[in-house]
Structure 1
Amino acid sequence: MMEHDGDVITVLTTDHREVEQMFAELEMSRGDDERRRRLTEKVIIELVRHSVAEEAYLYPATRRLIPGGDELADREIAEHAEAERLMKELERTDPGDPAFDHLLDRFMATVREHVREEESRLFPELVKYAGAEELHAIGKKIRAIKKIAPTRPHPAVPDNPLAGKLLAPGTGLVDRIRDLVTGRGKD
């Protein structure tokens, strides 16, 4: 599980590096279907938690603090929706199916592009308009919600901060119980 201290930029950038490391492992595991399934589950768990946290706290702060932040946040949320749709498809596809590699490649490309945009556009703007205290406060909230966030993609859940904050604890609990029963996400 991703866990670290610091401001929102440090927390999310660390998540990004950890996801990239999992992607590299996935790319090197072609041919080992069981390992690919476990790694895919692991990356989905982490990215769902990460996305819920961003939608609950990062994007509302983007809207509030950055001039033109609504457009920036809307684009990021649309990218999350696409990644979530691909995650759901990956969950339903067997790693031995030829479609799996194609889906995985599209998914990784989508996430990598999202990370590039966030780190090169959103984060620098946020640093420009938010004080250090606020950046740390958002980082703390993000770390807290990731502990209770869902672990599975839920594309039907509305992409808005209030729905995310209200539904995350219950949906997250159900997901974690399902994970415990099935052993999903355990190495």
Structure 2
Amino acid sequence: MKSLAHQSVEEMGGAGSVLSRQKRDHVKLDRLLGRLGAAPPAEQNAVLLQIYRLVFPHAYAEETVLWPVIRRVLVDGHELTLQVELEHQEINELATRLETLEQSSAERHRVLERLVELLREDVRDEEDKLLPALQMKLGVSELRRLGIAWEAVRALSPTRPHAIVSRRPPGNVLAAVPLTILDHCRDGVDSLIRGRTGAASSPLKGLSSSLARASNALERLPGLRRGEDPSTRRGTARPPWAAAAIVTIVAASVALAMAGRKTGKRSSNGAI
């Protein structure tokens, strides 16, 4: 099998083929990892957020669309996809761990180093093994249709690490929309935080943390863990009533953020 790294766009089935779409993302990731390596510690989080927005929707769509096809058409499809699912699982766990570590801690450096190493390893496994094997089983028209499906799912996939939710359908399919909404809200909040310091950022940081807790509670709901392989199962399930707690957490966080904004405006008006 010829690695995608050494194939032209035409060999991969054209720009619309799922192989070409995958490789374009891998090229973008390589550039972002280079930027991350050159960034000072204070600027790493901004680059990491860009990496997350690229790799987590990419991987989620793979797990939802591509890997089921590989398991269906390849004799060793289960083993091949499980290897990558385990890599995805560790990437999610490492990224989640990073969020809890101080910028200057030695552990953060080790976790970040392992995350970068694993992301590069994941690209090689996909370009050298999984995707060429899929290419040998499907025609160009099938690869293009698969590319459209993968792109559509990617647009509706979470942008943050989720180490608890199933890595396989139907659990990950059921979790996609609610987790994506929470993640996009958190992405927006975190973008606002970077433009503020001190007391002005506190309500937003509280909101971001609450959104993260809501996502964590959501992905533990029993139905969202269906279909996963036992080797990637993490955490414990929560009963359905936990969904009500999620709504409460988010609503309270939004109210807190709005109250903080109003307080800030009153303080500004009083200073004039």
CA drift at 1:150: 0.8
Q: Deviations over 1:58-89 (max 9, x none)?
A: 10111011221111111111111011111111
> Shift of residue 155 of structure 1?
0.6
RMSD of equivalent CA atoms: 1.8
2:29 counterpart residue number: 19
Amino acid at match of 1:10: S
Q: Percent identity?
A: 28
Match of 1:71 in 2: 79
- Contact 1:57 1:161 survives alignment (8 Å): no
The structure-2 alpha-carbon separation of the partners of 1:184 and 1:157, relative to structure 1 and needing over 3 Å to count, comes to: farther
1:118 to 122, 126, 140: 126
- Alignment of structure 1 residues 120-139 onto 2, 5 Å: 120-139=128-147
Q: Number of paired residues?
A: 181
Q: 2:20 is aligned with what amino acid?
A: T
Q: Does 1:107 align with 2:131?
A: no
Q: Name the residue aligned to 2:168.
A: 160
Matches for 1:90-101 after TM superposition, within 5 Å: 90-101=98-109
**TM-score, normalised by the number of residues in structure 2:** 0.63
How far off is 1:35 after superposition?
A: 1.3
Deviates more, 1:76-85 or 1:177-186: 177-186
Q: Which amino acid aligns with 1:86?
A: L
Q: 1:33 aligns with which of 34, 41, 47?
A: 41
Normalising by structure 1, we get a TM-score of: 0.90
How far the C-alpha of 1:45 sits from its partner, in A, is 2.3
- Correspondences of 1:55-66 after superposition (within 5 Å): 55-66=63-74
Question: Per-residue deviation at 1:186?
Answer: 8.3
Per the TM alignment, residue 185 of structure 1 is displaced from its structure 2 partner at its CA by 10
- Computing the radius of gyration from Cα coordinates, the structure with the larger value is 2
Give the 3 Å change call, closer, same or farther, for CA 140–62 of structure 1 in structure 2.
same
Indicate which of 178, 181, 190 corresponds to 1:173. Answer: 181
> One-letter code of the match for 1:25?
R
**Residues 67, 185 of structure 1: alpha-carbon distance in 2 compared, 3 angstrom cutoff:** farther
Structure 1: distance between partners of 2:103 and 2:148:
36
AA matched with 1:144: A
Matches within 5 A, 1:73-92: 73-92=81-100
Higher relative contact order (CA 8 A, sep 6+): 1
The answer to whether the aligner puts 1:10 opposite 2:31 as a matched pair is no
Distance in 2 (alpha carbons) for counterparts of 1:26 and 1:184? 21
Cα distance in 2 for partners of 1:184, 1:34 equals 16
Match of 1:46 among 30, 34, 54: 54
User: Any runs of at least 4 consecutive aligned residues in structure 1 with deviations exceeding 6 A, and if so which?
Assistant: 184-187
Q: Provide the secondary structure at the position in 1 that maps to 2:108.
A: helix
**Aligned-partner SS, 2:170:** helix
Any unmatched runs of 5+ in structure 1?
Answer: none
How far does residue 34 in structure 1 lie from its aligned partner after superposition?
Answer: 2.6
In 2, Cα distance between the equivalents of 1:139 and 1:83?
Answer: 24
Query: Does the 8 Å contact 1:41/1:184 carry over to 2?
Result: no
Code of the residue aligned with 1:129 in structure 2: it is: K
